[in-house]
Structures are given as C-alpha cells and as structure tokens.
C-alpha cells in the first residue's frame, strides 16, 4: 500500500514524522499542497514475467496516450528492475544521490514499488509508490529514489526531452540521513 511520510529536512531517520499516511486522498492533498501531482490509477493489465520494454509500452498504450495528450511528454520509456538485475546496485547508488531535473519527473508504477524522497523547503517527503501510483515531480525539485536492495518494480517514465533521464546532482548528502525503502517498510509493519 502506498505510504507518505513527512519529516523535517533538518532531521534524520530517527526523527519523528510530521505525518504518516496510507490514505490516497491525504497523500494526494499533501503532495498537491507542495506542487507535486499524485494519482492512483487502475492497473488491470498483468504483464508477463519477461515482458520487455516494447511489450510494456504496448500494454499501456492507452494510458501513455492520455498522459501525453494532457502534458505533452514526447518521450516515454519503461524501466523494469528485478532482484536479479545485473546493475541493480549501481543503479540504486545513482538514484539515491539527491538530484534535480530540468523537466518534470513523471512516473507511473505498473508493478512493484519504489521510494521517492522529495526535499521541498524544510521538509523531506518520502512516498512509497506502488502499482497504480502516478507521480509528477516538478522540474527543479531536489529528490532521490530508492529501488531497494532487491528491486522489484516496473514503471513508465515520461519525458519532455528526447534524451530521457538527465540528472543534475546537488552534492548534498541528505539522502544518507533518511530511511531507505526497507527501513520504511519495516517501520510501517
């Protein structure tokens, strides 16, 4: 189940949360008040275990067309990371470093889950995004993403540019102070 935890940016993994909720309405409201779009969509399509990016994009062609019609995202790709992916550790390390993008970061989770962490002003918002979650992070928002030690997700990524994922790393080690995916899941259990 999706979950949003908000903490003070000056805090760390031991700091009490200002808010913790799995209520989709609360999550959408809290994120919207900070300029982040969040929706929960139906995911009636069960992808085959070995579905490649082309098959994933074809399966979700209707949803892709709907997003592109409303936001003008020229490029869409599918990323799938499983626990046996040969580059899982390298990708996790790269995504865990706080960064920004010159464009919105828009994702739709078609399988599994991942942890989006947004550094907005004096807060860190950690969103456990799961199957059916759509998130639109505004351009320039410092954030990081945790795939987990044993990643298990598939997401559609929407871009305004033809280059795909292009990050500007901030050099701020803030991500090291906050819970990782596994820690957040254990705390919610």
In the block, which residue shows the tokens 């808010």? Answer: 19
Gap between the Cα atoms of 48 and 4, Å rounded:
29
pLDDT in tens, 13-70: 889 999 999 999 999 999 999 999 999 988 888 888 888 999 999 999 988 998 888 8
**pTM listed for this prediction:** 0.93
Domain total of the chain:
1
Per the structure, the complete domain to which residue 46 belongs is given by 3-188
Q: Do the beta carbons of residue 111 and residue 129 sit within 8 Å? A: no
Q: Do the beta carbons of residue 117 and residue 3 sit within 8 Å? A: no
Read off the CATH number of the domain in which 137 is found: 2.60.120.10
39 class by beta-carbon count within 10 Å (0-12 exposed, 13-18 middle, 19+ buried) = middle
Which residues, including other chains, have CB under 8 Å from residue 105's CB and lie 6 or more apart? 135, 136, 137, 139, 141, 143
């Amino acid at each position: 189940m999706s979950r949003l935890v908000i903490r003070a940016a000056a805090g760390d993994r031991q700091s009490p949360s200002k808010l913790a909720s799995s209520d989709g309405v609360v999550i959408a409201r809290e994120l919207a008040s900070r300029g982040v779009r969040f929706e929960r969509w139906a995911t009636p399509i069960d992808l085959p275990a070995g579905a490649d990016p082309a098959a994933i994009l074809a399966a979700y062609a209707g949803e892709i067309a709907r997003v592109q019609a409303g936001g003008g995202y020229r490029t869409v790709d599918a990323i799938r990371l499983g626990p046996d992916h040969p580059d899982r550790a390298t990708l996790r390390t790269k995504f865990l470093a706080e960064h920004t993008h010159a464009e919105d970061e828009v994702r739709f989770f078609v399988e599994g889950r991942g942890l989006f962490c947004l550094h907005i002003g004096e807060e860190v918002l950690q969103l456990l995004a799961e199957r059916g979650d759509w998130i639109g992070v505004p351009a320039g928002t410092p954030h990081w993403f945790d795939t987990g030690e044993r990643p298990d997700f598939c997401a559609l990524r929407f871009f305004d540019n033809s280059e795909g994922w292009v990050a500007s790393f901030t050099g701020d080690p803030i991500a090291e102070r906050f819970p990782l995916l596994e820690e957040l899941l254990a705390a919610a259990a």
